[in-house]
Amino acid sequence: MQPRAEVVHWLFGTGLLVLGLIMVAEAIVGEKVWRMRPWRVYLWPGIAFGLGVLMWPVMTFFTNSAIHMLAHGSWAQALMVMGGAELGLAKGKLSSRWWKLAAPVGIAVSGVAFLVHEQNPWFFARAAFLHHLMGWTLIGASLFPLALIFRPRSSLGRSGFAVSVLALAAMLYCDRDIAPIFGHLSPLAGPPHR
Amino acid sequence: METQLNARPVAVIVRRGVRARAVSLLGPLTVVAGVVWALVQPYRITLLHPHHQGFWWLVVEPPLLVAAAGIFFGRVIARPLLADLEVDRATES
Give the confidence band of A185 by pLDDT, cuts at 50, 70, 90. Answer: confident
- Give residue-wise pLDDT tens across range A132-161: 999 999 999 999 999 999 998 898 999 999
Q: Is residue A35 part of a domain?
A: yes
Give the confidence band of A179 by pLDDT, cuts at 50, 70, 90. Answer: confident
CB A102 within 8 Å of CB A86: yes
Cα separation, A6 vs A13, in Å, equals: 10
- Contacts of residue A130, defined as CB under 8 A and 6 or more positions apart, other chains included, come to A171, A172, A174, A175, A181
Q: Do B88 and A194 touch (CB under 8 A)?
A: no
Q: Is residue A180 part of a domain?
A: yes
How big is chain B, counted in residues?
93
**Residue A150, domain extent:** 5-189
**pLDDT at A110 > cutoff 60:** yes
Residues of B with Cβ-Cβ distance to A14 under 8 angstroms: 65-66, 68-69
pLDDT (tens, 9 = 90+) of chain B, 93 residues, equals 555 555 555 666 666 788 999 999 999 999 999 999 999 999 888 888 888 888 888 888 999 999 999 999 999 999 999 999 999 888 876
Radius of gyration of chain A (CA): 17
- Give residue-wise pLDDT tens across range A65-104: 888 888 888 889 999 999 999 999 999 999 998 899 999 9
Of all residues in chain B, what percent are helix, strand and coil, respectively (each to 5)? 85, 0, 15
Higher pLDDT, A114 or A191: A114
Q: Is residue A159 part of a domain?
A: yes
Q: Is residue A111 part of a domain?
A: yes
Cα separation, B52 vs B38, in Å, equals: 20
pTM listed for this prediction: 0.89
Q: Do A40 and B43 touch (CB under 8 A)?
A: no
Q: How far is B85 from chain A (nearest CA, A)?
A: 6
Give kind and range of the element (H or E) at residue B10.
Answer: helix B2-40
Q: Do A37 and B84 touch (CB under 8 A)?
A: yes
CA dihedral sign, ordered A105, A111, A115, A121: negative
Q: Is residue A93 part of a domain?
A: yes
Instruction: Report the domain count for chain A.
Output: 1
Q: Is residue A75 part of a domain?
A: yes
pLDDT of residue B5: 52
ipTM: 0.88
Give the confidence band of A194 by pLDDT, cuts at 50, 70, 90. Answer: low
Check CB contact of A28 with chain B, cutoff 8 Å: yes
Cα separation, A130 vs B71, in Å, equals: 27
B91: nearest CA partner in chain A: A33
- Contacts of residue A158, defined as CB under 8 A and 6 or more positions apart, other chains included, come to A23, A26, A27, A144, A148
What value does the mean pLDDT of chain A take? 91
pLDDT of residue A33: 93
Cα separation, A59 vs B74, in Å, equals: 33
Q: Is residue A194 part of a domain?
A: no
Cα separation, A14 vs A50, in Å, equals: 13
Please return the burial class of A164, using the count of CB atoms within 10 Å of its CB with bins 0-12, 13-18 and 19+: buried
- Interface A-B, measured as beta-carbon pairs within 8 A, has a size of 66
Check CB contact of A5 with chain B, cutoff 8 Å: no
